Structure 1
């Protein structure tokens, strides 16, 4: 048999390192498609001249382009037979990705736990994205619920990793040379500085985007994400294709521009949950909450810890969880991240 059915839960071993296939060289083409799909418009990723004024040699690739590229490489080995992508932790962007860089991915299995139904289990992996020089540009942990091939297969000894709830702001990596002392707020699109945001403040990002079949399918193909639930409608009893969670992340991040235009660079991912499935026809809206603030050693650069919530149209703007602690059915994404902003 020459075809690859993908891994099932019983195929994983604690501590194994998986080198993922098909490195990818990124170019301005990926940037143009990314900006067209969402549409992303943070100035640091849109303009070489703006980036140079901020101390960088040119505009790097968008932070989420790096994330989607690294993530997409892992799908055939980690989530081809996934039921759901459950969460993220300990994510850090460690170096900018530039047009012309070649990115590859590798993952270490750091946790395994069979579900009580005996038909599936949860796999935790720490994934690293590396460039052509072998430098790690991005790392994160995610956990995935994966089907078993054989319900009778023996369960591994359960091991659930102990993960940090928040990336220590002292460990945030600010790109070399980044300097916001000459930051142009007019060109960036808003006047709100780091000091204008208060811990506990919530921001309704107002706008919405209706998800179309063609756009989410193009995006998932762009990142070479081959998970069956995104392409094959027979994988679900309702006959629907599940929207790639990263597509919702990018939509929400783009919507957050209205109110957070100066939160320029995502540098860490503290945690995240795809709370409810998203399908074509849903109109996605977003709100954010300022969870924390931190200074950095870079001139003029501060870090905002933000909760980004994407929700289906029709819900109240700041809906999140009910009294039972469960997510409101309208909530699609609950993402906790650090972003760099001008002081």
Structure 2
């Protein structure tokens, strides 16, 4: 038997460490494809000259979510090939920029297990670490995923639910070496609004919408080498639909957030996130953000801003999130809490 059907829930053990296969060298092609798939136009990752003016060298780093998707994709064959759904994220940090020519690989550790009451699936928590060709940590994060059982009669593991912080502490955020926003050009960046112009509690409607296409989603999922069956195989779900990769929604919402947050140019942490409802081709994604917190950094001219990014297939202008029963509204696709860096 030379093929594999992937891991099922009963195959995971607490403390298990999995080194994922197939390192990936990323380059300018990934940047171009990313910008073709999403309306991404943050200046720092779009222009070498702009990155150089901010102290980041002569070549612009790749978008942070390119690194995230690549590291995530490496983990899919071992973690979520037989997933029902990817449920959420927490405690994620971007430790350094990824440049064209870097080679990324992933390692995951199982940190939590809980069988579902139906006995047919369970939730697996993993901490995934992305490393470059020098074995330096590029990013790490926790995610939890619902995975099918191969044998419903297999005994359940002891339930262990990891304790995770509500947010990454501001004083632990990693600011890229050399970053300096004292000469930041807001005209070239596209908006005048700086860190001091935002207030905690402020909500921003990002106005624009993008209809999700089946072809673009399939191209994106292949680009990240994400092999989860629910994204490719229409027979894998009872409704006969291919589930849109949650990261596709994250990148679409992040790109839409440019309109109102053009100067939140670097993602440095993911505090938490939930794919509130499934997304399928044909839905139009809109987004809004809420300012949750702000913090100073020691880097010249650089402030940190904590943002809630919500993607919805309904209206964005009334800032929908939860229904009267406290549950996410049916049109909410994503609820993502992250820290970004912004010129003061």
Instruction: State whether TM-score is above 0.5.
Output: yes
In 2: Cα distance, 1:101 partner to 1:330 partner: 38
Question: Which structure 1 segments of 5+ residues have no match?
Answer: none
* Deviation of the 1:24 alpha carbon: 0.3
Residues 59-94 of structure 1: CA deviation (Å, up to 9, x unaligned) = 101100000000000000000000011110000000
Partner of 1:224: 225
- SS of residue in 2 equivalent to 1:263: coil
* Deviation of the 1:314 alpha carbon: 4.5
- After superposition, residues 94-109 of structure 1 pair within 5 angstroms as 94-109=95-110
1:11 aligns with 2:5: no
- SS of residue in 1 equivalent to 2:134: coil
Residues 149-178 of structure 1: CA deviation (Å, up to 9, x unaligned) = 001101111100000010000000000000
TM-score, length basis structure 1: 0.99
- SS of residue in 1 equivalent to 2:265: strand
CA contact (8 A) 1:123 1:145 kept: yes
CA contact (8 A) 2:181 2:300 kept: yes
* Deviation of the 1:323 alpha carbon: 2.0
Partner of 1:245: 246
* Deviation of the 1:317 alpha carbon: 3.5
- SS of residue in 2 equivalent to 1:249: helix
* Deviation of the 1:96 alpha carbon: 0.8
CA contact (8 A) 1:286 1:317 kept: no
Partner of 1:42: 42
- After superposition, residues 5-84 of structure 1 pair within 5 angstroms as 5-57=5-57, 58-84=59-85
- SS of residue in 2 equivalent to 1:167: coil
In 2: Cα distance, 1:250 partner to 1:167 partner: 21
CA contact (8 A) 1:110 1:161 kept: yes
- SS of residue in 1 equivalent to 2:291: strand
Residues 4-55 of structure 1: CA deviation (Å, up to 9, x unaligned) = 1000000001001100000000010000000110021000000000000000
Partner of 2:292: 291
Question: Which structure 2 segments of 5+ residues have no match?
Answer: none
Partner of 1:111: 112
- SS of residue in 2 equivalent to 1:200: coil
- SS of residue in 1 equivalent to 2:218: helix
Indicate the RMSD between aligned Cα atoms, in angstroms.
0.7
Partner of 1:123: 124
